[in-house]
Structure 1
Amino acid sequence: MASGPLLKVEGVGKAYFNNRVLKNVNFTLEKGQILGLVGENGAGKSTLMNILFGMTVIKETGGYEGDIFVDGEKVAFNTPFDALRAGIGMVHQEFSLIPGFSVAENIVLNREPTKYNFLVEAFGDRLKTLERDTMTERGKKAIDKLNVALEPDSLISELPVGYKQFTEIAREIDKENTRLLVLDEPTAVLTESEADTLLTSMRRLANMGISIIFISHRLQEILDVCDKIVILRDGEVVHETSPSGTDIMPIASHMVGRDVASAFAREDDPERQMGAPLLSVEHLWVDMPGETVRDVSFDVKEGEIFGIGGLAGQGKLGIPNGIMGMFPSGGSVTFEGKSVGLNEPTNALSVGMSAVYEDRRGVGLLLEEPISWNIIFTALQMQGRFLKPLLGGLVKIRDEEAISSCARDYIKSLEIKCVSERQRVQELSGGNQQKVCLAKAFETKPKLLFVAEPTRGIDVGAKKVVLDTLKLYNKKHGMTIVMVSSELEELRSVCDRIAIVDSGRIAGILTAESPSTEFGLLMLGAVKQEEKVSV
C-alpha cells in the first residue's frame, strides 16, 4: 500500500452548464480518520461526493476539473461500481432500499450467498438457491456493529425512518473491502440517543482503519466525532480546522459568511393574539408503523404555533399523518367546530388543513417535475387554481405564466437555490427540496398547517429561513401552525406551547419558556401521570 493519505482531493471544480458549484477544492484524508464536511445546502458537498463516488450525472454533464487520488493512485470513477470496487462506500441522504425486502435482504443485496442445486445443471448459476440463514447471520452481524435493536427479518416498509437509515449504513458495513465510507446526513432522521449510537459505531469503524467522510448539519456531532473539519461555502473550501481548535458558532459563521450567534433566539411578539380552539383532537389513535399513536387529546388555538416533540418511535409523527388521513386512525377530530372524517386525505384538505410531511421525497414531491409544477400541484388539483378558460369556459388549460410567476415569488422569498423555476426538483439539494415542500403547502393557503421535521437535513442558514418563514406566515397571514420536530430547541424558539409525546400518548404540554429539564423529564417518561403539566 502506498504511503501518504488514503484520499487526496486536488484542485477539484465542477460546473453544471453556467452554474459553477465547485471551485478548486483541496483536502486530504488519512487512513482511519473521520473528516467532517460541512457547509450550507448548495455549498457543493453533494456534488463533491458525487464526483468521488462516480455518479453518472457528473460524466453526463461534462465531467469535472482537478484530480482525485486514492492511496496515491489517481482515479476517475465513471460509475458507482468503479468506486465500490475500489473500496469506497456511500450512504446517501435519501434512501435506496427496496421496501418489500427484509432488512437482511437489503443489507446483502447484490452480494447474496448462494448454494448449488440440481437445477443449475440445466439452467445455469442464476437458479442457485439463496442461503437464507447466512443472509440473516450477515445482516445481524452488521446490525450488531451498530448496536441497535433491529431485526434482520423485519420488512423495510414497516420500519420508521430512523431504522431505515441504520439499514443503509449496515449494508455498507457488510462489504468486506470498504476502506472509505461517505455518510451523507446519516443522523438527520435519528434521535439524539440513536445518533450517539451511530457516532460510537463510526469511531469503532475508524479504529478498524476505515476512513469516513461525515456530512452533517448537526455541528455538535461534527465536533464530537471528527478528527478534522473542512468547511465549504459557495463551492470553495473557506476553512479547515480541528475540533480542538474551534466551536459551533465559528463553524456556522464560516458556513454562512455572517454571524449566526442569535439566529435562533426567541423573539416574543406581545401583539400576537390567539383565539378560540381551532383544532380539537380527542382520543386519537393512529396505526403508523414505528410511530403508533395510542390515545392523544389536545387543542390548538387559532393563530397559535403549537409544537409536538418527543423521541423517535414514540408517536409524534403519527399524529399529523393520522389527522391528514395518511394511515389508519380513529378517534375524534374537530376543525372550526365541525367534525373531520379520518382515513381520507381529501377530508382534511377540503376544510383548510394542509401538511408538509417528514418524507419529502416519498410523499411531498414530484421529483421528475419542475419546481413550478411541484409548488402549484396541490392548489391546482384540490382548489382548481392556476387554470384559465378557453372557448367561453368550455375547457380550461394551465396558466403557465401565473404558475411561473408564483414559483419565482417563492424562490425569492424562501431563497431556493436553483437555476430557474423550470429546474427539476430531483436536481436540488435536500434543503432546497424541503423549501419547495413548504412553498407547495403555503400555496394552498391553509388555515392550519402541519409541518413535520421542517429542518431535517438542512443547514443552519436554511433552518433560519424556514423557521422565520413559518413565523412570518403565522403573524402576517394568520396561519395556525402545528410543528412536529425532534429538535426541542427549535420548537422552543418558535412555538407557543409544546406537547411531548411518549409511548403514543401526550406526556404533557408545556409553554415554550418552561425549563428544558421539564421537557427532558417528559421525554424520558420520568413524570408520573398525576404530575404531568398541561396549560
Structure 2
Amino acid sequence: MDKNVVLHAEGMNKIYPGTKALDNVSYDVLKGKVNVLIGENGAGKSTLMKLIAGIEQPTSGKMYMDGEEVAFKDTTEARAKGIGIIHQELSLFPNLNVYQNIFMGREQTTGRFKLDNKTHIAETNRVLEKLEHVMDPQTLAGDLRVGQQQMIEIARNFLQDDLKILIMDEPTSSLSEQEVEVLFRLMREFTEAGIAIVYISHRLEEIMRIGDNVTILRDGKYVARAEVKDIDVPWIVQQMVGEGKSYPKKDREIEWSKREKVLEVKNLTLPKSGGGYLLDNVNFNLKRGEILGIYGLMGAGRTEIFECIMGLRPEHTGEIYKDGKLLEIKSLRGQIDNGFAIVPEDRQAEGLVQTLSIGKNISLSSLEDYTKAGFIVKKKEDEQIDRQIKDIMIKVADKDLPILSLSGGNQQKVVIGKGILTNPDILLLDEPSRGIDIGAKTEVFDIINQYAERGVSILVISSELKEIVSIADRVIVLSNGVKTGEFVHEEVSEDQLVLSSYKGHGTKKSLKEN
C-alpha cells in the first residue's frame, strides 16, 4: 500500500435481499486529507462507510490498513483500529446527560467499578470548549436542540484516542453557519495532524470548499475520483447523473394553464424536535390530472409533506386548500374522506397487513363502502377487489392467498390498488417503485399515467432521477426543508434537479410559479 493510504478497500460488495447496494467498489482513504464521497440517493455512500466502520460486514471484498488485511465484526473492533464515525442520524440517548452520552462505551473508572465522573465532566468541558459549544455537562441530551445534539455526536469522536480515520456522514445538516465554521476549522486541525476524514455531504459548496479529493458512486458502483482543485460543480453533477437510458416519457400534450388547481399548499412549516424546521414555508399547487414530482435528498422533507397533508403531523402550520376550500386536517381517516389516498414508502410496515389475504389488503381502506347494518357485504367487496385486480393487472392466482405469496412488484400494486379503491381525487405516492424490478416499475408507471389520464391528480416522490424526469409533468425540489427549485415540462432535466437538490439555504433562487 501507498504510505499515504491509511485504508484501502478492495472489491467491496454488499447484497441485501433484492438489492445490490455495493458492486465491486474499491476505495482509498488518504492520510491527512478530507476525502469526499458523493452520489445520489441509493448510490452506496453510507453503505460503504458502514462497512469501513464495522456497523455492517461486506458480502465480499477485503480491507487493508498498514499493509495488513483487516475485518471488523462491530464498531468496537473498528474503533480499536482508529476508525470513528459521526452518523447522519443522531444516535444519542435522550434520557442520559451530555457527559454520559460522550463517554458511552468508553467509561473511565476509579478502582475497579466506580465511574470516574469527575474526569468525564472535565474532559467533556474540554472538548466542548474546543468545539466552541460550552454547555452544562449535566444537561439531558433530550433537552438540547438538534444542532447541539449534533455537536455532542461530533464530540464523542473527538475524544477517541489514536484516531486515524473519522467518517462524517452529513455532519452539517443540523448546524448553523457559525457552527459549520468551527467544525471546518477543527477538521483542518485534524488533517494537519495526519488524521484522514471521509466526508459525505449534499452541499456542493461545502465540498468544493473543504474537500481535498472527491470520489463519486452511482447505483452502487465506483464512477470517478478527482482532486477538488481540478474539478467544478458541473463536472460533479455530470458524473453523478451519467448518461444512462431514461424511462420512456409519456407525451401528454395538455394546456396546463387552463387546468384548475385541485390542491394548494401555502407556507407549510413543520418544526423539528429540538429546534429548526423539517419544512420551512413550502408553497406549491397541484392541477387536475397532473403528475407533480417531489425530488430531494434524504432529509429534504419530501415524506414530511405527505405526512402533513394526510393528518399525520398535527403540529404543522400553514394552509392546505382542496378545490379552493381551506381544509381542517384532523386525521388520516378524515383526509381519506376528503378525497386523499397515500401509498407509503415502506409497503411492508405501513402499506400491508401481512396476516391478511391479498383481497383483504386491497379492500382494507374502503371497507365502509361494502358494509350494510355493520356487516360486510362479501359479494360487493369481492366484485370491487376483482375489478381492481384486473384494472391494475395484479398477477395473482387466487385473491384469498396470503399477501406475502406475491412478488414485491405485485405487493406494491396491491398497496396502490388499496388507495385507488377509496376513489381519491388526489393520490400521494411515496417511492412507488422502491424494491421492485424494472418490469414491475414500468407497469407501476403505466398505472400512474392511466389514472392521471382519468383525472386523478398525483403527487409522487422518487429518489430515482430518471424515473421522476420520465413520469412527472412538473417537479418541485426540496433541500433541507426549503423549496429550492420548480421545473415545468421541458425544463425538467436530471442536471437541473441535482443542482437544486444540493443547494443550501443561502443559495435559494427565485422560483417560477405555475
TM-score, length of structure 1 as denominator length: 0.59
Q: Given the alignment, which residue of 258, 263, 272 partners 2:243?
A: 258
C-alpha deviations, 1:344-368, integer Å up to 9, x for none? 45444542457899xxxxxx64787
Q: Does 1:243 align with 2:228?
A: yes
2: distance between equivalents of 1:378 and 1:138? 55
CA contact (8 A) 1:40 1:255 kept: yes
2: distance between equivalents of 1:355 and 1:209? 50
Find the counterpart in structure 2 of residue 5 from structure 1: 4
2: distance between equivalents of 1:322 and 1:211? 41
1: distance between equivalents of 2:42 and 2:318? 43
- CA distance 1:204–1:390, shift in 2 (3 Å): farther
Q: Does 1:407 align with 2:412?
A: yes
> What is the letter of the counterpart of residue 8 of structure 2?
V
SS at 1:12's partner residue? strand
Structure-to-structure mapping, 1:78-477, within 5 angstroms? 78-114=73-109, 125=113, 128=114, 131=117, 134-147=119-132, 152=137, 155-157=140-142, 162-188=147-173, 195=180, 197-258=182-243, 271-273=256-258, 275=260, 278=263, 289-291=274-276, 324-328=311-315, 335-336=322-323, 340-341=327-328, 344-352=331-339, 365=346, 382-383=365-366, 401=406, 404-405=409-410, 407=412, 418=435, 462=464, 464-465=465-466, 468=469, 471-472=472-473
Shift of 1:326: 2.7
- CA distance 1:447–1:369, shift in 2 (3 Å): closer
SS at 1:237's partner residue? strand
1: distance between equivalents of 2:363 and 2:140? 36
CA contact (8 A) 1:38 1:229 kept: yes
SS at 1:16's partner residue? strand
> What is the letter of the counterpart of residue 74 of structure 2?
T
Structure-to-structure mapping, 1:46-61, within 5 angstroms? 46-58=46-58, 61=59
SS at 2:224's partner residue? strand
- CA distance 1:169–1:249, shift in 2 (3 Å): same
SS at 1:171's partner residue? helix
SS at 1:490's partner residue? strand
What is the aligned length?
A: 431
Shift of 1:82: 0.8
Shift of 1:243: 0.8
2: distance between equivalents of 1:23 and 1:306? 29
- Most deviating of 278-287 and 217-226: 278-287
- CA distance 1:10–1:95, shift in 2 (3 Å): closer
1: distance between equivalents of 2:237 and 2:485? 20
CA contact (8 A) 1:288 1:327 kept: no
CA contact (8 A) 1:19 1:419 kept: no
Shift of 1:245: 0.9
Shift of 1:173: 1.7
| Structure 2 unpaired stretches of 5+ | 246-253, 371-375, 383-398, 417-429, 439-447, 490-504
C-alpha deviations, 1:470-525, integer Å up to 9, x for none? 843x6xxxxxx997643767334469xxxxxxxxxxxxxxxxxxxxxxx96999xx
Q: Does 1:72 align with 2:67?
A: yes
CA contact (8 A) 1:291 1:318 kept: no
SS at 2:50's partner residue? helix
C-alpha deviations, 1:181-212, integer Å up to 9, x for none? 11223345556665555434322322233211
Q: What's the RMSD between the two structures over aligned residues? A: 5.9
> What is the letter of the counterpart of residue 206 of structure 2?
E
Q: Percent identity?
A: 25
- CA distance 1:146–1:344, shift in 2 (3 Å): farther
SS at 1:230's partner residue? strand
2: distance between equivalents of 1:152 and 1:317? 35
CA contact (8 A) 2:146 2:273 kept: no
CA contact (8 A) 1:288 1:328 kept: no
- CA distance 1:19–1:70, shift in 2 (3 Å): same
- Most deviating of 88-97 and 279-288: 279-288
Shift of 1:72: 3.2
Find the counterpart in structure 1 of residue 31 from structure 2: 31
CA contact (8 A) 1:326 1:343 kept: no
Shift of 1:241: 1.3
TM-score, length of structure 2 as denominator length: 0.61
C-alpha deviations, 1:47-102, integer Å up to 9, x for none? 432332233443xx4xx234x22233332222221101111011233333333334
1: distance between equivalents of 2:5 and 2:159? 21
CA contact (8 A) 1:450 1:484 kept: no
- CA distance 1:270–1:13, shift in 2 (3 Å): same
CA contact (8 A) 2:32 2:193 kept: yes
- Most deviating of 75-84 and 161-170: 161-170
2: distance between equivalents of 1:186 and 1:163? 12
C-alpha deviations, 1:10-68, integer Å up to 9, x for none? 5323253896655554443333211112234444433432332233443xx4xx234x2
> What is the letter of the counterpart of residue 69 of structure 2?
K
- CA distance 1:278–1:14, shift in 2 (3 Å): closer
> What is the letter of the counterpart of residue 90 of structure 1?
I
1: distance between equivalents of 2:343 and 2:186? 32
C-alpha deviations, 1:335-394, integer Å up to 9, x for none? 55666555645444542457899xxxxxx6478789998xx9998764459x9x997569
1: distance between equivalents of 2:86 and 2:233? 25
SS at 1:51's partner residue? helix
2: distance between equivalents of 1:316 and 1:45? 20
- CA distance 1:356–1:130, shift in 2 (3 Å): farther
> What is the letter of the counterpart of residue 338 of structure 2?
V
- CA distance 1:197–1:259, shift in 2 (3 Å): farther
Find the counterpart in structure 2 of residue 490 from structure 1: 484
